[in-house]
Each structure stands twice: as C-alpha cells, then as structure tokens.
Chain A
Amino acid sequence: MFNKSSLNIPFMRYRRVALAISAVAVVLSLLLVLTRGLNLGVDYTGGVLVHLELPREAQVGDIRSVVSPRVSGEPIIQAYGPRDFMLRLKSPSEAERKAVLSVLRERFGDVKVLKLETVGPVVGAELKSEAMVALALALLGILLYMAFRFQFRFGVAAVLSLVHDAAIMLGVYSLTGREVSVSFIAAVLTVVGYSLNDSIVVLDRIRENWRDVPKKGISQVVDDSINQTLSRTINTSLTTLLPVLAMFFLGGDVISNFAFAFLVGIGVGTYSSIYIAGAILAEWFLKSPVR
C-alpha cells in the first residue's frame, strides 16, 4: 500500500543478506523435501480417497478402529465436519474398498459416499512424470520468452527467482505436510507464470534505467528501479491476494487447498521479484560488467 512518490529504500545495501537468506531457505526447502518428503496424494501414490457422510456424528478414532483392521497399511482419516470424513487408503484394491464401506455401514448405518477417487499405480506413475515434464517445459518456455524479450542475464535472473519460489513452495508443503495433488502442481505452474509478472515489471524498469549505470552505478540503478516500481509491485500482489484469501477461507476444501498454494507462492514470489532478481543482476554485474 505504498503510494508515496519519493520512496528511496536502499534495497541493494542488504542484497547479500537477502541472497543469503534466500539461499538458506532454498537449501532448507530442498533438504526438507529430500528428508521429510512430500505428502503425495492419491494422484501420485495410487490408492483410494473417499469422502463420507455419516448419518450421525463420530470421532476420527471411531472410524479408525473400524477401518484399520480391514486394510493394508495405515489409512489416513481426516474430519471435515462432525459427520464428514475423508479416508485415504494406500491400496486401490476393490476388495479393500468394499470391505471398508461394508464395515462402516454395519457400524454407522447409512453411510453416504460423497466423493470417491481411485487411482491405480499405472496412472499414478504417469501423473508423476507428467508433472515433472510440465514443470520443466513451463520453465523452459518462460526462459525462451525471456531470452527473446530481454538480455540473457535478465532472463537468468528472472528464472532463478522462479526456481527459488517453486523450491520454497515445495519446502512449505513438506513442512506443513499438506497434500501434494495434481492441483498443487497446477498452482505451482500458475505461480511461476504469475510471479514472473512482478519480476518483469522490475526488470523492465532496470532496462529502461540502464543508461544511468555508468553515472550512478548498478546498485543505485537497481534501487531506483525497485523503488519506482514498488507501489505497483505491492498493489498488484495485494489485489491478487484478496480473492485468493477469499478462496482460502470460503472456497471449500478443494479450492482452499488450491488457494493455500497460491498464498505461499504469491507471497514468496513478490519478495523474490522485488529483491532476488535485482540482487542477482547487481551481483553479476559487479563481478563482470557488461554494457
């Protein structure tokens, strides 16, 4: 909500600190993903996801005690409401699904299945490799576009800040244990596309101010550019965050999960496009100046 005309925050003075914090955050995120792993949903692991509505209120424990003996592997059970529950079974086997539903009906009466997803291992593996290819292709496409529109270094700075955003999104998902589903990948790709908007605004301004570099020095030019564009960077992020917040709080579970990914991504993306893209450019220029 910056509306001042003469902001002059010396961003680049702290660029090393910011780069260090970001590097640590990225490394930590990758370590988390490697050690703690991601909570992959049935889309990727295969298995069964059932959303149930019971005729009366129950506790997660009640359901677990009925379901656990009937399935291989520990089922994941979540309460969505006093009568609404989500069950995740590891095996997509029909016999297990049937057994679970029939014991639940025996115990609770008329159990309604609101949603049922089964994903076999074949499709799970396919979706997984598709997600990887999609991420790689999107990054490549954006890199090509940036190379076409900007100098090589600008493109690299923008793409590095995108990789930064995506890595931290994965880290947050690993840390919070939220489910990684197909829609999470969609959110990551969208954030990658969107977060670039802000980077482009900043980079575009740096390009415009480039002729001042010999006079003012790269740090000052980057600072000027960030300050000149700060109000729009923050305002555009805020206006996008408002509906995302509405989705997060009011959208219902599927949309809300989707919105959480945007929330994290847009937050990190705004920071990285203000700071990281410019800082990388400045560092690089100081190491080996180009016109």
Chain B
Amino acid sequence: MGLVLLVALVAAAVAFPLDGRIRLGLDLKGGAQILLRAKGTPDNPLTEDGIQRLLAVLRNRIDQYGVVEPQIQRQGGDRILVLLPGVEDPDAALDLIGKTALLEFRSVLGASPELPPGPERRNYDSDEAYNAAKARWEAIKAQADQVAEEMRKSAPEGSLVAKGEDGRWYLLGRPYLTGKELKDARTSFDQFGRPVVSLKFNDAGAKLFDEATAQNVGRQIAIVLDGVVVSAPVVQERIRGGEAQISGRFTEAEAKRLAIMLRAGALPVGVEILESRSVGPTLGADSISRGIRAGLIGAGLVSLFMLVFYGLMGLAADVALAVAVTLVMAAMVLLKSTLTLPGIGGIILTIGMAVDGNILIYERIKEERRGGKTLLAALDAGFRKALTVILDSNVTTLIAAAVLFYFGTGPIRGFAVTLSIGVVASVFCNVVVTRAILQILMGRRRAAL
C-alpha cells in the first residue's frame, strides 16, 4: 500500500499543475506543419549541396518571419518537414516556405493587349447583357492568347514569355540582374500610401541596374518574380544610386513577406508542397477545452456507473481510475510526448477502458463467492483468475497501438502514445492499486464487501 501511495503521489507531483508541462502538438497549440520536396530540373539537378543551401535559406526566411522555436527536419533524400508553432496565417506560411522568390529585371520586347477581369453576372441587369459582355471578353482573351502564342514562336534565345499580374502577356529579354545582386529589401509606402518593397543593390548590382536603366530610358523594364511579371514600369531616367522599388498589387503583409524572401534569397532549388496542415491558435484552444469537458463528463459517467453497480468496490475502482489518469499525465510529462487532438481522444478512451479490468475482476469475485468461497478466498481467486484475461486483452490493444505508432504521422502517433500509456497504466491500477485499496477496505469493513 505504501508503494502505491508513493507512486500516486510522485505521479501527481510530476503531472500537476498540468499547464505548460505537457508538450502540445501543433493541432492543439496552433501552428503549421509543412512537408516539402525539393525538385531538381534538368538545368538545375538536385545535389546534396543544393539541399543544404535550401535548408539554410528556409531557416533564414523562417527566422526573419519571427517564428519562435521552429523545427526544420530533413526526411530521407529530398524531403523536408517544417514545423512552425504559433503561425496565425497558414496561407502566409505556405507562401513563405513554398515560393522560390526568384527576382529578375528584364527588358520588355513586346506585350499583348491588357486583359480586363472577366465579367460577373451580378454586375449586369439581364442575362443578355451579361452574355454579350462575356462574349466580348472571350474575344479579347482569344486575341491575347494568340499574341502570346506568336510571341512564343518568335521568342529569341534567352527570352521569356510571361504573364503579368495585369493580365497582359509579355515577351521579355534576358535578365539584366537578379535577386542575387541585392543587398537589402525593406517594405515602405509610395506617395499614394500603397505598400511597396524598396530594394538596395550591391555594388555589382548597382552597376548593372545603372546600365539597364540607361539603355531603356522611355521604355519598360519588367520586374519578374518566379516567372510572373509583378510590374513593368517605364524608365523615366537613368538610375545611378543602386536603389529601386517594386510596387505591385500586394497588401502590406504580402509586401513584408516578399521583402523577407528577397533578403533571405531565392530557394536554390524549386520545392513542391507535398502536404501541409495548419491550425489557428483559437481552434486549438477550443479543441482543448472541448476535449477536457468531454473527458470530465465521460469520467463522471464511468465513476457513477461503477459506484452504482459495484458499491464500495466501485469506489475502489474509481480511485484506481483517478490514479490511472494521473499516471498517464505523469508519463506524458516524463516521456516528453506530444499531446495531440486524437491523443486527447486516446486518453478519454482510456478512461472507459481502464475500469474494464476492474469489472473483469469484480465479476469473477462475485462468481467465486457464488461458488461458496469465503470473501478473502474469492478476492484472491478473482484477482488471480482475471489476471490472464486482463493481460491477454490488453496485449491485443497494445499490438494495434504499436502498429498505429509505427505507421501514423503526427496526430495519430499522439493517439497511439496516449492509448499505449493508458493501457499500461490501467493494467497497473487494476491489478495493483485496486487490490491495495480493497485490502485496506477489507481490514476495516469486512461486512461491506
């Protein structure tokens, strides 16, 4: 008994107060989990060095974005897992990680007519007016596409046909300079109060930009980001200072992200986002409070059931259940396991399964009593005979949990962990704790059993 009390007290001391001691998964505390694959191209094949540089750029971007305790793990040859706790805008996180951010300045050799946004039905009074507008728009689009097709055919070596954010197609010459020649990039606002990204080139870049603007006075220079023309301003005069501005159609947050990506540099190899899962912090907090409520109510119902059906022995089972749950929490803290949302489900399920062992033992005791054994002998036989069944049945649950742990990722793994810990804790509580409590009760109130 002394041992049982000691175990329970130590477990309680380890586990409480729970706040901050249990490591929460990203699905509970909020954050983004992104799985990337580095993609080589024939021109830029994947090398070990390339992946190392990719990791460095990603780390740099994430640090500059201000994520606390990010994790960047390499998985296998070409996969990278990025964990970003506390990120509130999952969409922004995907941009930050997945965008190559290759910046180029190119001359504009030709452009298609501007394509306005397509008509929307709610802006028109009748179906006819809408259909007519739509037909006109289709015609312009076909024309623009044809120009693009011709540009592709006639495109000289080193040039690029790219779409602009304004809907035009552009035929672009060789890049004058790229993001590699940048020294710094910051967000600021233009005279209309719109967010822009201000660039500062390094010495080589300043010289190249000087030459480019000198050659193109009165003509357009396209600012191309990842193959899309962000803007194509007309050069008013030669620019000597090595500074430029990108004004695109972006929000302040987007401008800030772009500046970060330009400062951290382009990704040395392209990446593909294989999988991403992110949860906002409010949803995570909501999940926790709902989980706790469901768990408490479930535990209350189970305790009541045991009390009603097994009386004083039920009370012993309830105490054992409380010890089991405390042990699960303590084990989570000690093993530094991560609690996930399905993991909470696993703990609640454990609450129901933990008393199963007690029921097996108690029913067996009742049976032995009916067979004519004395209370003490029945208790002894009950524990002894029920033990094999309890072990058998829990081993099979452990087999299932082990398979889940091996195959599952993140949240499901969390479920497998809490389920396994729960199973082990409940067997201990069934067999050892319940028995100790019953022995004490027996010593005091033989008649009650």
Interface residue ranges, A against B (CB under 8 Å): 1, 3, 5, 51, 92, 94, 97-98, 101, 112-120, 122-123, 130-131, 133-134, 137-138, 141-142, 145, 149, 182-183, 186, 189-190, 192-194, 196-198, 200-201, 204, 228-229, 231-232, 235-236, 238-247, 249-252, 254-255, 258-259, 262
Contact = CB atoms under 8 A, between A and B. Distances in A.
B330 interface: no
A116 B352 CA distance: 32
Contacts, number: 215
Contact of A258 (B286, B345, B351, B407): B345
B239 interface: no
A255 B344 contact: yes
A123 to B, nearest CB: 4
Contacts of A192: 400
Contacts of A200: 389, 392-393, 396
A5 B306 CA distance: 18
A251 B294 contact: yes
B408 A239 contact: no
Contacts of A122: 37, 274
A104 B406 CA distance: 40
Nearest to B286: A252
Given A114-B283, A200-B392, A243 B301 contact: yes
Contacts of B274: 119-120, 122-123
Given A116-B90, A122-B274, A252 B287 contact: yes
Contacts of A249: 294
Nearest to B385: A208
A250 B396 contact: no
For the complex of A and B, list the 8 residue pairs with the smallest distance between their C-beta atoms, beginning with the closest.
A243-B298, A193-B400, A197-B393, A240-B352, A246-B298, A252-B290, A116-B90, A193-B397
A114 B341 CA distance: 15
Contacts of B305: 238-239, 242
A236 B280 contact: no
Contact of A189 (B277, B286, B345, B404): B404
Given A5-B366, A244-B349, A244-B352, A232 B298 contact: no
B90 A113 contact: yes
A229 B367 CA distance: 10
B302 A251 contact: no
Nearest to B423: A193
Contact of B94 (A94, A112, A236): A94
B290 A251 contact: yes
A189 B287 contact: no
16 contacts: A94-B94, A116-B90, A116-B91, A118-B273, A120-B272, A138-B399, A142-B400, A193-B401, A197-B356, A201-B393, A204-B392, A239-B306, A243-B295, A243-B302, A244-B349, A247-B345
A196 B393 contact: yes
B403 A116 contact: no
Nearest to B354: A239
Contact of B91 (A97, A228, A231, A259): A97
Interface in B325-378: 341-342, 344-345, 348-349, 351-353, 355-356, 359-360, 363, 366-367, 370
Given A94-B98, A141-B399, A255 B352 contact: no
Interface in B260-311: 272-280, 282-283, 286-287, 290-291, 293-295, 297-299, 301-302, 305-306, 309
Given A190-B419, A204-B388, A246-B297, A251 B291 contact: yes
